[in-house]
Amino acid sequence: MHILHLSAVTNWGGGENHIENLCFELKESNPEIKNTILCARNTPFHRRLEKTELNFITAPLKIKIDPRYFLKIGAFCKKENVDLIHIHEPSALFAAILADKLYGLPPFVFSKKTSFPIKQRKKTLYKYNYPKIRKILCVSDETKRVAEKAIVDQDKLLTIYHGTNLKTKSTETPFQLKEKYGIAEDKIVIGNIGNHIKAKHLETLIDVANIIINKKKNTNFIFVQIGTFSERTEALLDKVKSLSLEEHIIFLGYTPNASNFISQFDISLITSQSEGIPQFIYESMYHKTPVISTDVGGISEAVEHKINGLLAPVYDTETLTKHILQLSKNPQLSKEFTEISYKKLLEMFTTSIMAEQTLNVYKTVLNYD
């Protein structure tokens, strides 16, 4: 069996982490199955794959739909006798459809990794209901529920949680946050990992910091945000400056192995307005760092309110603030949350479970025994 995995994004995020984890797990558990990743050339994903033993190829992607990218799909499938194409995001799906028109490709499996609704436009509905797509793997039950509104054949939809790779976990970092940034030992570190994209709504994080630091005068908190900068970053930095929060919010930008820093967080804070289930949650569960989050997408499937974390409505800065202040004063509650989360992680949210379930889908699509 030869699987071609497609990603047509130019940054590094949870979706690319999923591809890497899936291919690592399949390489270890089923070495007879060949997995090849096609990614955009000269991107963070390309540079990361160069440091692994995973099979990958690249193609230029200078515009959203670059002919060199979709022509590479078709040529590679014909030359290497690819059996199935696993498409990991919408731009790659459109490229695969174009390649299929020219080359006649093998069947598709598509991963839907966000809870964004599928737009009810003719071209979009055609893309997501393309007949070559045999299965749509949803990152959460909520993502599946949202997708049902646009998918004609709902039997194609199933949920497979992505999980985290227990074999690659580490707390090794190039520096200690408190030491590098001169943070006093008694300061409470509130951490967030996510690229500077609209879905993460980092404006909420800044607003929460403003309430805690400026309005409630709790100056013993430091907010650390790790993630790739974007066109949104300048406005975020301006907002921090306008609120005089420069000494209380640190933006690290893209940082390799960012999850290794989670053990240095006292609380993991997610302020997203849209999600599937972010890797940051699974990784926080592993590192036994308690999670406070907005209740969006499939997050409540991993973090149950007052059971193994605290949730708030989207944009609800006052409730997020209340949760942070409550949890920071209650180490016993934090310990209870993290113990339950760790157990849940091992039972439901590991990449070995994800890979086994995904392989079963491949076998079903290809009629393998």
Residue 82 has pLDDT above 80, yes or no: yes
Compute how many other C-beta atoms are within 10 angstroms of the C-beta atom of residue 51. 8
pLDDT (tens digit per residue) in 210-224: 999 999 999 999 999
Percent of the chain with pLDDT over 90: 92
Segment 270-292 mean pLDDT? 95
Residue 121 has pLDDT above 90, yes or no: yes
The span from the CA of 16 to the CA of 255, in Å, is 15
117 secondary structure, DSSP code: P
Going by pLDDT thresholds of 50, 70 and 90, the confidence category of residue 168 is confident
Residue 314, token pair as written in the block: 């989207």
| pTM across the whole model | 0.87
Residue 184 has pLDDT above 90, yes or no: yes
Torsion region of 361: left, alpha or beta (phi above 0 gives left; psi -120 to 50 gives alpha): alpha
Q: Which residues of 64-100 are buried (b: 16+ CB within 10 A; e: fewer)?
A: eebeebbbbbbebbeeeebbbbbbbbbbbbbbbbbbb
Q: Where are the alpha helices (DSSP H) in the chain?
A: 14-29, 44-49, 67-80, 90-103, 122-128, 141-147, 177-180, 202-210, 233-242, 279-286, 299-302, 317-328, 331-348, 351-366
Cα–chain center distance at 149: 23
* H and E: helices and strands count for the chain: 14, 13
CATH number, domain 2-163+350-366, options 1.20.140.10, 3.40.50.720, 3.40.50.2000, 3.30.450.20: 3.40.50.2000
Which stretch of 11-15, 116-120, 142-146 has the lowest confidence by average pLDDT? 11-15
For 182-308, strand residue ranges (E) read 188-193, 221-226, 249-253, 267-270, 291-294
Residue 329 has pLDDT above 80, yes or no: yes
Residue 148 has pLDDT above 70, yes or no: yes
> What's residue 369's pLDDT?
66
Domain residues of the chain, as ranges? 2-163+350-366, 171-348
Segment 87-105 mean pLDDT? 95
139 secondary structure, DSSP code: S
pLDDT (tens digit per residue) in 57-80: 999 998 878 899 999 999 999 999
Percent of the chain with pLDDT over 70: 100
Closest CA to 120 of 133, 129, 112: 129
> What's residue 64's pLDDT?
78
The span from the CA of 138 to the CA of 144, in Å, is 5
Cα–chain center distance at 305: 21
Going by pLDDT thresholds of 50, 70 and 90, the confidence category of residue 208 is very high
Torsion region of 247: left, alpha or beta (phi above 0 gives left; psi -120 to 50 gives alpha): alpha
Same fold, 2-163+350-366 and 171-348: yes
pLDDT (tens digit per residue) in 237-257: 999 999 999 999 999 999 989
Going by pLDDT thresholds of 50, 70 and 90, the confidence category of residue 14 is confident
Backbone angles phi, psi at 94, to 5 degrees: -65, -40
> What's residue 68's pLDDT?
94
CATH number, domain 171-348, options 3.30.465.10, 3.30.450.20, 3.40.50.2000, 3.20.20.70: 3.40.50.2000
What mean pLDDT, rounded, does the chain reach?
95
